[in-house]
Amino acid sequence: MSFAKFALALGTTVGARHLLRSVQDFGTNDILRSVGLERRRSTMDSVLPALGWVGVGTVIGAGVALLLAPSSGKELRERVSQQIDEAKTRLDNGIHSLEDRLPGHNGG
């Protein structure tokens, strides 16, 4: 094999590997962008993050309201403890209800 053929084969191999790496990350959005188009965003793409932030804000607001409520520390701790116990009971009941509905569950 002559040096020219070897260099051509090596260059082709390196070029092919470089091309494959470039094409692997090439997606639909890249093709659309190359012709001046873009994919339309659905309503849910903007609504879901907004709802998530509203939920986070609600949780933070509820926590701040509990901490700033005009009650003694003992009353606040009792109230928070009671609410945590109630939430745990509701969660346990929900889990047991779900387990009862699962096929093959024998109730115990």
Q: Looking at the structure, do residues 20 and 60 belong to the same domain, yes or no?
A: no
**Domain region containing 79:** 43-101
Q: Looking at the structure, do residues 50 and 90 belong to the same domain, yes or no?
A: yes
As a whole number of angstroms, the distance between CA 79 and CA 61 comes to 17
Residues 13-53 pLDDT 10s: 777 777 667 667 777 787 788 888 887 778 777 888 888 89
As a whole number of angstroms, the distance between CA 63 and CA 43 comes to 31
Q: Which pLDDT value is given to residue 107?
A: 53
Inside any domain, residue 60: yes
- How many whole angstroms from its chain centre is CA 73? 37
Q: Looking at the structure, do residues 18 and 54 belong to the same domain, yes or no?
A: no
**Confidence bin at 11 (pLDDT 50/70/90):** confident
Give DSSP secondary structure letters for 51-99.
HHHHHHHHHHHHHHHHHHSSS-HHHHHHHHHHHHHHHHHHHHHHHHHHH
Inside any domain, residue 107: no
| pTM for the full predicted model | 0.35
Q: Looking at the structure, do residues 24 and 61 belong to the same domain, yes or no?
A: no
Mean pLDDT of 58-73: 80
Task: Report the candidate in 53, 51, 76, 55 with the shortest Cα–Cα distance to residue 66.
Answer: 76
Residues 87-104 pLDDT 10s: 888 888 888 887 787 776
Q: Looking at the structure, do residues 49 and 90 belong to the same domain, yes or no?
A: yes
Total number of domains constituting the chain = 2
Eight-class DSSP state of 41: P
